Amino acid sequence: MKKLLLLLIFASFLSAAILQAQPLNLRCENLENPIGVDVSAPRFSWQLTGTGRNIQQTAYEITVQAGKQIVWNSGKVNSAQSVMLPYAGKPLQSATQYSWKVRVWTNKGEVSGWSKEAFFYMGFLQPSQWTAAWITPGFTEDSIMRPSPLFRKEFSTTKKIVSAHAFITAHGLYEASINGQRVGDAYLTPGWTSYNKRLQYQVYDVTHLLTKGNNAIGVTLGSGWYRGSIGFSRPNFNIYGKDIGLLFQLKIGYSDGSSQTILSDGTWKTATGAIRYSEIYNGETIDASKEQAGWLMPGFNDAQWTAAKTANFSKSHLIATRNEPVKKHETFAPVKIFTTPKGEQVIDFGQNLVGWVVLKTKAKAGDSIKLYHAEVLDKKGNFYIDNLRGAKCLNTYVFKGSNDAETFEPHFTWQGFRYVKVEGYKRALNAADFTAVALYSDMQKTGTFESSNALINQLQHNIEWGQKGNFLDVPTDCPQRDERLGWTGDAQVFSRTAAFNMNVHNFFVKWLQDVEADQVSGKVPYVIPNVLDTNGVNSTGWSDVATIIPWNMYLAYGDKQILENQFTSMKAYVESIRKSSKNDLWNTGFHFGDWLFYRPEDDNDGNAAVTDKYLIAQCFYAHSTQLLVNAANVLGKKEEAQVYTALLEKIKAAFLKEYVTANGRLVSSTQTAYTLALQFDMLPESLRQQAADRLVLNLSNYGYHLTTGFLGTPYLCHVLTRFGYTDHAYKLLLQESYPSWLYPVKNGATTIWERWDGQKPDGSFQTPGMNSFNHYAYGAIGDWMYRKMVGLDTYEDGPGYQHIKVQPHIGGGFTHASASLQTNYGKLSSGWKLEGNKLTMHVEIPANTTATVYVPAKTVESVTENGKPVNTHTDIKMQGLENGYVVLQVGSGMYVFETEK
């Protein structure tokens, strides 16, 4: 008996050891259980969990099944790779579900159990597999108001249903229902792409929506980006086409192994309903008296409806959705209801957000309520909408009259707002009747940041909400006025910050493909998708999105395929500059320059803030060429790497000749000029420190206020830290008066402003023609806060945080700062705290990674880990001393370092 007990204890111990490292959080194409994968070799990722330190994967085994049939078993593969492993089995079949699982071996001599099964469902791998027909309304449309058309189809099933998947896309936007229940929880589908070249479709598992017997499909369309008002020119309708159309294909699987397909065709019926008007900029009008009651259900009498028309629209450019769709997220109740000095009834939701307001209340038939939207109040406390320009941002609801409360909610529009003005409400406003709903792409929140300074914490809040409000399927510049376009300059300066706050991997993969699709002879338009003048291309800092974001995404996620996909685009862009350059100088064409920089008379004691636009162009020309060289090296393209390395030398030599004196002074003695020259290594080593000194002198002359615009701001604090001036970076960060990052915070901002002084100290506003209060570009300071202040970074030899750098920079009077990041390998975190002379660092490193940790200390002997001298730990390697840091090499695990400071 005793022997048996010992065996059981041993078995239990062995089982625990085996389960110590277990694969979790399985992803396919960086998505959890994706539906609608249209790549022939999807990639698999997982994370390891387990206690203890220095856990490394040494091998893995993946198995993929279709039902009970194994289509791929990798066998045991000796590799540490756990991110983006490509499928290598039998050819995958369209419209088929596959399950997969993985197990791993570790350096601890363990083998995990098999993970829980994950799945992926294939989309269409060939355009010919679309057998449905494009259909359009069968009636003559109102070409002015454009009420939303309704499409419906009834069908019957007689067998037991075991699976059903709907494939849907549209010219315009769509919402679909089956038997009165909404299909999916995505909004503004099929999303915005360069429609004539790339049109997304979505796939939904609708098994639970179907019933044996009669079923009804209902789809509502809106004009959206496809043919709605978008862009600057007037009239600005019908950018991609005048039509509105639906493509719908439903595959049903039965228990006897047979299947049935329901297709959009001429048998569908069409009409209009409650949505009488819907435009992105102007809002939506819903008249409940026009509602076609019961039209979403089987048995509805559609005899008066007209038959849909079939259309011969292309299907060759249809692609499955790779990025996360727009979904509903946070909701907000009113924090205040008040009457303005002008006598207007206004609701304050307390947060500048993007989405819409849901209204639920009673009223008489024919009564209407109008909701106007605004970001701010003027200095007298009145509702301010001048900065919306031509956008009406108005939702109108007309009641049918009912004993029960009626609920109104928009469908194909959205607003950027904090305040809502209500007209037509015939009694005192009731807070319970109004709910604000935030809409943004369904990206996982990955980063957190917190410090001892409340204003900086609010700045982080504003950075996050600027991203939420503007990452709405494309990275828009603003969400409120008559613009909301994918400006390339804004996106590139913020991309590294964005990748910390949220998982933007798929978001940018999708958008970058539209960047390439809309390039003109390699030249990159100002906005993507490009709905502006096709001649508006290649403005420096904007067009460099073609090289900067692919490289930033590679660093953040370690996905080599991003560089493979975009290399042609990157190369074409650099070549387009070379062709327009003279003597290796990019001194031609239009450039926005250091957009929206500080410019009170453009001078301050003789120190102009205006930076030569061609100097900026030359810096970014060099930077993009360097990134092309980097990508070529990663991809093993040795010849291209050599060619563009030689070009880079010429570009920098031309910069020195044209823009730098013999003593290292730049022709533009501005913060932006010195910042870019230093950030992009435009100066020889011998001239760099003096340039950094000149930069600091400039900062001092301006009283540590920013004079930089969109292009200089993101790099300024990074340059200061790099050249030993972190204390000056903190002075800038903590500046509270205009122009500074904290000036908007001190003035009640809940998002990042477009301008340093969107609302001036006297309460007046900047020019209303361009004055957004939700504009994320200046939020790029977050990148310095995360990577330098707290110190979470990644190395190029282990991108995607496979090789982690933890190097905090302490200062600014902060007593603590911490950050965490959900990487592809698991949670990474670091935080530092000062208590008297004692400095404590808490560090968490995920399994299957390594980290180089910099502890601020003068000697190794002064550092402890978990209360013991750090040099007595056998699982921590000493790397030496470097510029006031003790440098350590560690593996996964939790660490607590302490030292006297």
pLDDT, one tens digit per residue, over 139-180 is: 999 999 999 999 999 999 999 999 999 999 999 999 999 999
Mean pLDDT of 398-406: 94
Mean pLDDT of 731-751: 97
Is residue 406 among the annotated active site residues?
Answer: no
Give CB contacts under 8 A, 24+ apart, made by 742-746.
Answer: 742/455, 742/456, 742/459, 744/462, 745/455, 745/458, 745/459, 745/462, 746/455
pLDDT in the model for residue 482: 96
In which band, very low, low, confident or very high, does the pLDDT at 604 lie, cut at 50, 70 and 90? very low
Q: Are the C-beta atoms of 454 and 506 separated by less than 8 Å?
A: no
pLDDT, one tens digit per residue, over 779-804 is: 999 999 999 999 999 999 999 999 99
pLDDT in the model for residue 601: 55
Counting Cα atoms < 13 Å in the Cβ hemisphere of 496 gives 20
Residue 281, pLDDT above cutoff 80 = yes
**In angstroms, rounded to a whole number, what is the distance separating the alpha carbons of residues 256 and 179?**
24
Selecting among 483, 516, 865, 898, the annotated active-site residue is 483
Question: SS3 string of 508-538?
Answer: HHHHHHHHHHHCECCECECECCCCCCCCCEC
User: 10 Å Cβ neighbour count for 101?
Assistant: 20
For 726, the enclosing helix (H) or strand (E) is helix 726-734
In which band, very low, low, confident or very high, does the pLDDT at 18 lie, cut at 50, 70 and 90? very low
For 497, the enclosing helix (H) or strand (E) is helix 488-501
pLDDT in the model for residue 598: 84
pLDDT, one tens digit per residue, over 557-589 is: 999 999 999 999 999 999 999 999 999 999 999
Q: Tell me how far the alpha carbon of residue 175 is from its chain's centroid.
A: 23
Q: Are the C-beta atoms of 83 and 29 separated by less than 8 Å?
A: no
**In angstroms, rounded to a whole number, what is the distance separating the alpha carbons of residues 411 and 471?**
18
Residue 372, pLDDT above cutoff 60 = yes
**In angstroms, rounded to a whole number, what is the distance separating the alpha carbons of residues 617 and 655?**
10
pLDDT, one tens digit per residue, over 87-133 is: 999 999 999 999 999 999 999 999 999 999 999 999 999 999 999 99
3-state secondary structure of 138: coil
pLDDT in the model for residue 599: 74
Whole-angstrom CA distances from 835 to 732, 795, 840, 898, 899 are: 24, 31, 8, 11, 11
Q: Are the C-beta atoms of 150 and 201 separated by less than 8 Å?
A: no
Q: Provide the pairing of β-strand 199-205 with 318-320.
A: parallel
Residue 426, pLDDT above cutoff 50 = yes
Task: Judge if the upstream peptide bond of residue 529 is cis by omega within 30 degrees of 0.
Answer: yes
3-state secondary structure of 673: helix
**Alpha-carbon Rg for the chain in angstroms:** 29
Average of per-residue pLDDT values in the chain: 95
In which band, very low, low, confident or very high, does the pLDDT at 607 lie, cut at 50, 70 and 90? low
Selecting among 29, 154, 754, 898, the annotated active-site residue is 754
Strand ranges for 745-901 from DSSP E: 792-794, 803-806, 816-823, 826-835, 838-845, 850-856, 864-865, 868-869, 877-882, 885-890, 893-900
**In angstroms, rounded to a whole number, what is the distance separating the alpha carbons of residues 217 and 825?**
42
pLDDT in the model for residue 609: 77
**Interior/surface letters 626-637, b for 16+ CB within 10 angstroms, e for the rest:** bbbbbbbebeeb
Residue 624, pLDDT above cutoff 70 = yes
**In angstroms, rounded to a whole number, what is the distance separating the alpha carbons of residues 613 and 594?**
7
**In angstroms, rounded to a whole number, what is the distance separating the alpha carbons of residues 585 and 571?**
18
pLDDT in the model for residue 80: 97
Mean pLDDT of 725-752: 98
pLDDT in the model for residue 52: 86
Mean pLDDT of 66-72: 97
Which of 567, 675, 576, 572 lies closest to 616 in space, CA to CA? 675
Mean pLDDT of 311-327: 97
- Which range has the worst mean pLDDT, 47-51, 146-150, 644-648? 47-51
Which of 630, 722, 716 lies closest to 673 in space, CA to CA? 716
Is residue 375 among the annotated active site residues?
Answer: no
Q: Tell me how far the alpha carbon of residue 50 is from its chain's centroid.
A: 30
pLDDT in the model for residue 232: 82
